[in-house]
Amino acid sequence: MLNCVASLQEALFSLHPAGFTRKDSTLKTQLVCLIMVVPESQGELYHPPPDLQRDAHVPDFSSYVGMYKKSLENPEAFWKEVADEFFWKKPATGPMLQYNFDVTKGNIFVKCMEGAKTNMCYNVLDRHVREGNLGEKVAYYWEGNSPEHHTTITYGQMLSSVCRCANVLKRMGVRKGDRVSIYLPMIPELVYTMLACARIGAVHSVVFAGFSSDSLCERIMDAQSSVLVTADGVYRGDKLINLKQISDEALEKSREKGSSSISKCLVIKHQALRMKTGASCNKLQTPWDSERDEWWDEAMSDSSEDCEPEWLDAEDPLFILYTSGSTGKPKGVVHTVAGYLLYTFLTFKCVFDYHHDDVYWCTADIGWITGHSYITYGPLANGATSVLFEGIPVHPHVGRFWEIIEKYKVTKFYTAPTAIRLLMKYGQEPLQKYDLSSLRILGTVGEPINPEAWLWYYKTVGQSRCPVVDTFWQTETGGHVLTPLPAATPLKPGSATFPFFGVEPTILNEHGEEVEGEAEGYLVFRKPWPGIMRTVYENHERFENTYFKKFPGFYVTGDGARRDKDGYFWITGRIDDMLNVSGHLLSTAEVEAALTLHSAVSEAAVVSRPHQVKGECLYCFVTLKDSWEFDKKTVAELKTLVREKIGPIATPDFIQNAPALPKTRSGKIMRRILRQIARNEKDLGDLSTLADPKVVEVLFSQRSKAAA
Ligand code: WTA
């Protein structure tokens, strides 16, 4: 400990306090906090294990401080060193980063390595196979929904499949800049298709395969994709999902809306699913349009393995990924080639302290950003071996995760707090059956992790020898922005700790003023890092309005944060109209819009309520039209409607009858009050702004009848 403090002090003194300008104040505050108070917190800190520190990329806290300082003071040199790892067809002519973060000074923009030409697919595959001799190295251990189904894919095999897929897409008319929608389960072909797009300069738009046909339709229409890649179906646990049928419904809906951009649909025959015998397989529906649809196997069998990569500009788009927006309409977050490559590469390498012989497993679905950055691009950019898992944590038994860790000798494991809380419920017994001694580092992402779950993860899963990296980030940030580094950062359960390299966080109060020291408020970032989003697809105005208007000069995350006396950041949750259910962001407006589609509903308001496993769940207040009765049938219909419109992740947990909603005199619904009613908090504070305070009593009296 003393050593740690001494080296921190050295780092502080090397900072030349006199050299700090006003702009550097966050960095200064940050470092001063870090260095001064670490010893006081001894009791609650979890220190990095010395054996991990021995050959770590960032081996101790003072190395972190030094690198962090360099990343902010000399971003040019810092990122140039990272870029030197990769292949550039043409070098950059501009600086590593250019930007404007201040709406009052003109359009918001971020550019990384202007003038450079490269290709993402070349850098994550060809470079390893051709230059790094990794052709035989395993890229993925694919583990199916059922433990009987698994395969191994090497970098060499993957390059060949990706090139063939790229040629299929080209034959289907896909050109540089065209969008390809991908609606696939967690099978290797999902990664092949993403990289095939990247190879030919097409922009992929992956849609999570748990979304409904309406959600898929909306995302295809917004992106105006020309090709859809899907599968016949998939089992998630015991449940069969007819992906092709859902895809056809989505395409039919887009036709009805007069916007059918898809000319070709490539369909993967899910082999494992076909092997499944018994009645359930007969439920598989594969509607077919012979003009439009092609089977993947047939298309791939006569496709060439030669495909020259398309050399793209550093700032050409790599992909679009939709994320919930507070207006209800999802936003197409756009990430570009060079910056995303540098950032996912470096965060993966440092946050999981990647080494060549690691077996890494991230349990997320590639349909979300975590899968894009930390199953596909980050690990592949490093030449890593990963597990690609199709199933769910409790199928066919509650020890499935632990069984997989033992089977592949997983060294780095990354999952969500919701999964941890779910597995905690089954106690230690399922873990004791398996050998988890291969584990070195544990990670979490997606939502705040409660200290109880953190400690269970650390002690029971990691046997008190694996640091837990609680990584805070967003679809928009492209990669981790607040995160511990496993060999460097003393941990506090529940805190995402400190910023990653190049990231300068600060906390603002309601008036947009920076608050220093111990404080709570809006979490914002002062400047970009290479992996931050560039725009909302085809809607730059929405990009500026959403993230940059509220506090000019800053990127606004939409999350609240607290900085403690030691400078550690604690995310306090969303402070906009968004909910985080099992780590998935949903907008209240989106769910309200689905509820009001029901002919019985005149008005709906949705708030979050804490949930033991999911973190938050949906509590919906509905006001029915006069002649309707609030009964079980209506509640069931409302739940089905939300599932159909958005997907099963948005299924309401509670629906309560609300003869009226609490509103201000100007008619604004007071969600704070609804949240308190949902939580049964009787002390509601000041109700004077309500048009009719009696509404509150009525809602409390109806509360016990809320249908779960
Ligand atoms: C939340 C997921 C606390 C946060 C990568 C953020 C977290 C939203 C954490 C983004 C964490 C993510 N601690 N909250 N470690 N990680 N969040 O776009 O509210 O699906 O704004 O990206 O998840 O969700 P998204």
Looking at residue 1, what is its pLDDT?
37
147 near 392, Cβ under 8 Å? Answer: no
Name which of 359, 431, 355 is nearest 388 in CA terms.
359
352 and 296 in one domain?
A: yes
- Token look-up 């409660």 returns 450
Q: Identify the domain containing residue 596 by its residue range.
A: 582-707
**How many angstroms separate the alpha carbon of residue 294 from the centre of ligand 1?**
37
Tokens of 669: 């619904």
Q: Look at ligand 1, atom 22, and give the residue with the nearest C-alpha.
A: 474
Question: What pLDDT shows up at residue 462?
Answer: 98
pLDDT at 32 over 60: no
254: β partners: none
Quickly count helices (H) and strands (E) in the chain: 25, 30
> Considering only CA atoms, which residue is closest to atom 7 of ligand 1?
447
CA 111-330-575 angle, 5° bins: 85
Residue 91 included in any domain: no
* Residue-wise pLDDT tens digits, 291-347: 999 999 999 999 999 999 999 999 999 999 999 887 778 999 999 999 999 999 999
Q: Which of 559, 562, 572, 616 to mutate to test the pocket of ligand 1 (most atoms within 8 A of CB)?
A: 559
On whether both 629 and 514 belong to a single domain, the answer is no
Is residue 417 located within the same domain as residue 497? Answer: yes
Domains identified in the chain, total number: 2
Is 586 in the same domain as 555? no
Output the pLDDT for position 260: 86
The answer as to whether 46 is a domain residue is no
pLDDT digits (tens, 9 = 90+) for 283-296: 888 999 999 999 99
Nearest CA to ligand 1 atom 23: 446
Can you give the pLDDT at residue 22? 36
For residues 431 and 460, state if they share a domain. yes
Whether 178 has a pLDDT exceeding 50, the answer reads yes
Strands 317-323 and 359-362 come out as unpaired
d(CA 45, CA 30): 18
Give the relative orientation of helices 588-595 and 632-645 as an angle to the nearest 10 degrees.
Answer: 130
pLDDT digit string, tens, across residues 604-644: 999 999 999 999 999 999 999 888 999 999 999 999 999 99
Domain boundary (529, 563, 597) is at 563
Q: Does residue 43 form part of some domain?
A: no
- Determine which residue's CA is closest to atom 14 belonging to ligand 1: 447
For a ligand 1 pocket test, name from 365, 375, 472 the mutation site with the most ligand atoms within 8 angstroms of its C-beta.
472
Distance CA(485)–CA(491), nearest Å, equals 9
Indicate if 377 and 469 belong to the same structural domain: yes
Can you give the pLDDT at residue 19?
29
What is the CA(674)–ligand 1 centre distance, in A? 24
Domain of 109, CATH number, reads: 3.40.50.12780
Residue nearest to atom 4 of ligand 1 (CA): 447
Taking all residues of the chain, what is their mean pLDDT, rounded to a whole number?
92
DSSP string, 111-177: EESTT-EE-HHIIIIIIIIIIS--TTSEEEEEE-SSTT-EEEEEHHHHHHHHHHHHHHHHHTT--TT
3-state secondary structure at position 579: strand
- From the list 533, 542, 679, the residue with the least C-alpha distance to 617 is 679
Atom of ligand 1 nearest to the CA of 571: 3
Q: 84 in a domain, yes or no? A: no
Would the pLDDT of 17 be above 50?
Answer: no
Whole-number Å distance, alpha carbon 482 to ligand 1 midpoint, is: 11
Residue 188, domain member (yes or no): yes
Cβ neighbour number for residue 681 with a 10 Å cutoff: 11
Residues 139 and 238 placed together within one structural domain of the fold: yes
CA 216 / ligand 1 centre spacing (Å): 22
The residue length of the chain stands at: 708
Domain boundary residue among 563, 597, 629?
563
pLDDT at 39: 42
Domain boundary among 563, 593, 626: 563
How many angstroms separate the alpha carbon of residue 446 from the centre of ligand 1? 4
Q: SS3 of 605, please?
A: strand
- Ligand 1 neighbours, Cβ below 6 Å, are 323, 368-370, 445-448, 470-475, 496, 557-559, 571, 574, 580, 585
> In this structure, is residue 26 part of a structural domain?
no
Which ligand 1 atom is nearest residue 557's CA?
21
525 & 591 share domain: no
**Dihedral angle computed from the Cα positions of residues 369, 374, 380 and 384, in that order, rounded to the nearest 10 degrees:** -170
For the chain, report the end-to-end CA distance as a whole number of angstroms. 50
C-alpha 140 to ligand 1 mean position (Å): 26
320 and 388 both lie in a single domain = yes
Is the residue at 238 inside a domain?
yes
The H-or-E segment that residue 339 falls in is helix 337-351
- Which segments of 378-486 are extended strands (E)? 385-389, 412-415, 441-445, 468-471
Q: Does 428 share its domain with 507?
A: yes
**Contact at 8 Å (CB) between 185 and 198?**
no
Please tell me the least confidently modeled range out of 343-357, 440-454, 497-511, 580-594. 580-594
Measured from the CA of 584, which atom of ligand 1 is nearest?
A: 20
306 and 333 share one domain: yes
In a domain, 258, yes or no: yes
547 and 604 in a single domain? The answer is: no
| CATH number of the domain where residue 592 is located | 3.30.300.30
Nearest to 646 by CA among 245, 185, 322, 287: 322
User: Which residue is closest in CA terms to ligand 1's atom 13?
Assistant: 448
